[in-house]
Structure 1
Amino acid sequence: TTHQDEEVFKQIFIPILQGLALAAKECSLDSDYFKYPLMALGELCETKFGKTHPVCNLVKVVEKYFSGPAITLENTRVVSQSLQHYLELGRQELFKILHSILLNGETREAALSYMAAVVNANMKKAQMQTDDRLVSTDGFMLNFLWVLQQLSTKIKLETVDPTYIFHPRCRITLPNDETRVNATMEDVNDWLTELYGDQPPFSEPKFPTECFFLTLHAHHLSILPSCRRYIRRLRAIRELNRTVEDLKNNESQWKDSPLATRHREMLKRCKTQLK
């Protein structure tokens, strides 16, 4: 069959996957068209021949809603519900794709490596101040967390190795200066020396353990930074509103002064930022 002839299979399906990737990039949540490339990719990834998912082998672990002058509180609620619905659909398809790749034995390791790479590449998101150019967006991390949460729903805690984070084959790379509760660096080093003694308590890492710890760290790298950004944005909006009100209320004092042009530009800039 075609999937057994690797070259023919690639010639047929790689252009399809590339087309789906391009289609997904051009989509937006302002309509439900975004879901069709994801649904198609999900169906392809779920296609199974024997014990393999051949399409998974080809998958390289590769403000329109709230704009407008007439947005009311009720409109915002309706639009938010619609947006949440679309997000749910998109995330479900992403889960199906990653789940299929993990089920496929030939791509499971690559998928786990990708998941770990996302976590490790975004460790700086846990910091109070982060250069956004060097890390993933909050939206990406929240979507990533949602998928990991779905993968973790059936994990039983008794199957999780609590010492995994210190395992020699742990996929998560913690910074050396990671904050620790009631322990100096010397205490940590002494404890690790004892842990890695003659008979280390480590067993071969299993998927439940790896998925659990990846999900745990994804929580730390997605929800907390998103909340901090939201709080900063609310604070900035309050400051902008206060500036606009002050300029308007005191316009009679500065409109004929040498600073009038500067104040008008500031007022215009603040109003633009508030839109």
Structure 2
Amino acid sequence: MEVLSQLGRGENPLQDLAPCAACNQTTPDNLDSPGVSSSSPAPLSPLLSPVATLPHHPMSVVPLSSDSQQDIHTRSLMYLMDCYARVAMEERNHPKRSSIPPLSDVLAEIRAQCVQYASLSLQGVLIDEELPRTSPLLGPVLNQSLPRGFLPELVARTHANHELFNKVFSPVLQGLFLTMQTSSIVGNGHRQPIQALSDLVEIRCGPSGNVRPICRLLTHQSNFLPDVVTQAVGRELAKTSFLGPFLSVSVFAEDEAKVADKFFSGNPVADKSLNQTLQQELENTRILLHKVFHDILVCNSAREATLSYLAALLRNNEKRAQIQVDERSLAGDGFMLNVLSIMQFLAVKVKLDKVDVFYPFHPSSLVDIKNDTRLKFTSQEAAAWLDDLNRSLIHKWKEPKFPTHCWFLTLHCHHLALLPACHKYQRRLRALRDLQKLVDEMQATEAQWKEMHFAARNKELLKQWKQQIKKLNRSKACADTGLLNEALLRRSLQFYTSVAEFLLGLLVQLPPGVTPPSLPLPSDAPAIFSALPEWYVEDIAEFLLFVLQFTPGVVADCTEDSLITWLLVVVCSPQCIKNPYMVAKIIEVLFVINPGIQSRTEQLHARVMAHPISEMHLPSCLMKFYTG
């Protein structure tokens, strides 16, 4: 306490002490995170502690004030962490003596006192100076330089008092939020804040170890799901919500212009070599983000708020599915694909028999389909059927469980994240082709106009078009990395396979996974199938057509029999879907699978042709469909 008092007066009683040999022997055992190597050189701190001699990784943390107040609070915390680390050093040096009383009791008490004083210091109680804007704990958390066990013990000793816990850890969370806002995948500045957040939400305490205090605190932050104040609600939430910056790690040029300038020169051969590295970095980031969301969702007190946050992201970005859209008002492709990847990871273990098929119509549903075109019903028929369902004495609404919420949110996330990104990619390619055609035509006729009075204008147009082509090529290279990611597309295909099984089960009124249904099906489709949105079927076809065009190996290698069965049943049961163009799109998928169109899918085509439905019904159904 005397040392802390002197530090509070601006003195440093330890500055003249020489470091002992043991203090310089820093090992990973001192740390809360094993990710820091003890072999890297680092300057000694003024406290000459083993904690301070850990290597420092440069980090674009929110700028710290350089006044004495910041130094005082930081020095106090570093001194307490130093004392905490020396306990571990004593236990390593004298393992037998330190494991039995009285020394074991003394060491445990020292640890407890260090943590208690640290909590007081972080509240600003020990020092009569105003706390700095940035928590002194933020730097050690980011740099993973905390003594092992210090952070979990600090959480365990403060979480019961919510006000105290909020004072200690809310500044740390907000510091991570502000740090992440200035971070980018360029320079790998995104890694430390996401890893730090992952470490924090992972901390558990309580008698059975099932209490996650940081998760509860995170969802109670004022900016966890803030009220929107602009018309650009999708973009605003991506920027201002607490988890928004963490989800905004992107390689798309529209989201992060520095990516195109840093990594892509416009040379397709050179750019392709960087794709795999960037895709792996993005995949690692998404896996870590999934871990963060998983830890939050397993916390009972944080689950509902997190599901509401995910639903709000989808609801406020639903215009992404429109043909004409103002992209400036919505979240970008990188943000939405990160959300999609997290949802895919969460949904991978969901069993279809645990999913409530009535969820899209449930009064408590987190997804909204009331304005969507239905598979068979008109909007009036769908409303009448739902009214009958609500008045029915037989049907009872079940309280939605997490698997149901998760699965349908994932389905709608594909509609708002993946498919719009695919459409945008195709529009970019068309724009590139059109511009290149203009350049080729202009250059081919140069001999005719180079002596004319408008030659200068044509040369200026050529220059502009070539610059646009160069810019679009860089943008395409970024999109190749972000969208044509086989890991992402495989997960999407796996999920769409489950969607096909879900739809097939509703259409034939059989549980998923049974033998292929007997055809033909009745002329009247089940009401619950008829009332579903049309895009539930259309998105499967559009996704398959996109992947068959750009990464056919994913479909060729990963298509399951249940998806083939669904495609064939739809083609052979056109009476169940009122829009004939929807059936025609499914037929187009079967056409593109033909090896004459896509050589990579020869084995898949053979599987389709060998399917019992193909042998018995497909030829006659195709003839009937096209001849009316």
Q: Same fold (TM over 0.5)?
A: yes
Deviation at 1:264, TM superposition (A): 2.2
Which of residues 374, 388, 403 in structure 2 aligns to 1:208? 403
The 3 A distance-change label for structure 1 pair 220 and 151 is: same
Match of 1:30 in 2: 186
Matched, 1:11 2:167: yes
Which of residues 90, 115, 137 in structure 1 aligns to 2:332? 137
Give runs of aligned pairs for residues 163-202 of structure 1, distance below 5 A. 163-176=358-371, 178-199=372-393, 200-202=395-397
Match of 2:264 in 1: 67
Deviation at 1:90, TM superposition (A): 1.1
Match of 2:450 in 1: 255
Deviation at 1:158, TM superposition (A): 0.6
Deviations 1:165-188 (A, max 9, x none): 111111112242x11122212221
Deviations 1:102-141 (A, max 9, x none): 1112111110101111121122222222221232212111
Alpha-carbon separation, structure 1, partners of 2:302 and 2:196: 19
> 1:30–1:64: 8 Å Cα contact kept in structure 2?
no
Matched, 1:227 2:383: no
> 1:35–1:89: 8 Å Cα contact kept in structure 2?
no
Deviation at 1:197, TM superposition (A): 1.6
Deviation at 1:249, TM superposition (A): 2.5
The 3 A distance-change label for structure 1 pair 103 and 212 is: same
The 3 A distance-change label for structure 1 pair 259 and 110 is: same
Alpha-carbon separation, structure 2, partners of 1:56 and 1:248: 61
Which of residues 53, 74, 80 in structure 1 aligns to 2:275? 80
Alpha-carbon separation, structure 2, partners of 1:265 and 1:94: 47
Deviation at 1:35, TM superposition (A): 1.5
Which amino acid counterpart does residue 4 of structure 1 have in structure 2?
A: A
Matched, 1:100 2:308: no
Deviation at 1:224, TM superposition (A): 1.1
Alpha-carbon separation, structure 2, partners of 1:152 and 1:64: 36
Q: Which moved more, 1:43-52 or 1:254-263?
A: 254-263
Alpha-carbon separation, structure 2, partners of 1:52 and 1:268: 62
Deviation at 1:76, TM superposition (A): 2.7
Alpha-carbon separation, structure 2, partners of 1:118 and 1:190: 30
> 2:373–2:379: 8 Å Cα contact kept in structure 1?
no
Q: Which moved more, 1:211-220 or 1:196-205?
A: 196-205
Alpha-carbon separation, structure 2, partners of 1:172 and 1:72: 41
Which amino acid counterpart does residue 248 of structure 1 have in structure 2?
A: Q
Instruction: Work out the number of aligned pairs and report it.
Output: 272
| Secondary structure of 1:32's aligned partner | coil
Alpha-carbon separation, structure 2, partners of 1:58 and 1:262: 62
Deviation at 1:217, TM superposition (A): 0.7
Q: Which moved more, 1:213-222 or 1:75-84?
A: 75-84
Alpha-carbon separation, structure 1, partners of 2:168 and 2:442: 63
Which amino acid counterpart does residue 171 of structure 1 have in structure 2?
A: L
Alpha-carbon separation, structure 2, partners of 1:233 and 1:65: 21
Deviations 1:143-174 (A, max 9, x none): 11110011111111111100011111111122
Which of residues 428, 431, 436 in structure 2 aligns to 1:241? 436
> 1:122–1:135: 8 Å Cα contact kept in structure 2?
yes
Deviations 1:166-224 (A, max 9, x none): 11111112242x11122212221221122112333311110001111100111111121
> 1:2–1:8: 8 Å Cα contact kept in structure 2?
yes
Structure 1's unaligned 5+ residue stretches are none
Give runs of aligned pairs for residues 142-161 of structure 1, distance below 5 A. 142-161=337-356
Larger Rg: 1 or 2? 2
Deviation at 1:65, TM superposition (A): 5.3
Alpha-carbon separation, structure 1, partners of 2:189 and 2:165: 27
Which amino acid counterpart does residue 173 of structure 2 have in structure 1?
A: L
Which amino acid counterpart does residue 318 of structure 2 have in structure 1?
A: M
| Secondary structure of 1:48's aligned partner | coil
Compute the TM-score of the two structures, normalised by the length of structure 2.
0.42
The 3 A distance-change label for structure 1 pair 166 and 49 is: same
Deviation at 1:230, TM superposition (A): 0.6
Alpha-carbon separation, structure 2, partners of 1:248 and 1:66: 30
> 1:240–1:270: 8 Å Cα contact kept in structure 2?
yes
Alpha-carbon separation, structure 2, partners of 1:243 and 1:66: 28
Deviations 1:16-39 (A, max 9, x none): 222222222222223333222101
Matched, 1:42 2:42: no
The 3 A distance-change label for structure 1 pair 10 and 146 is: same
Matched, 1:264 2:459: yes
| Secondary structure of 1:109's aligned partner | helix
Q: Which has the higher contact order (CA 8 A, sep 6+)?
A: 1
> 2:265–2:271: 8 Å Cα contact kept in structure 1?
no
Q: Which moved more, 1:216-225 or 1:156-165?
A: 216-225
Give runs of aligned pairs for residues 100-119 of structure 1, distance below 5 A. 100-119=295-314
Alpha-carbon separation, structure 2, partners of 1:32 and 1:78: 18
Q: Which moved more, 1:223-232 or 1:126-135?
A: 126-135
Q: Once the two structures are aligned, what percentage of the paired residues are identical?
A: 41
The 3 A distance-change label for structure 1 pair 42 and 147 is: same
Alpha-carbon separation, structure 1, partners of 2:213 and 2:187: 31
Which structure shows the higher helix fraction? 1
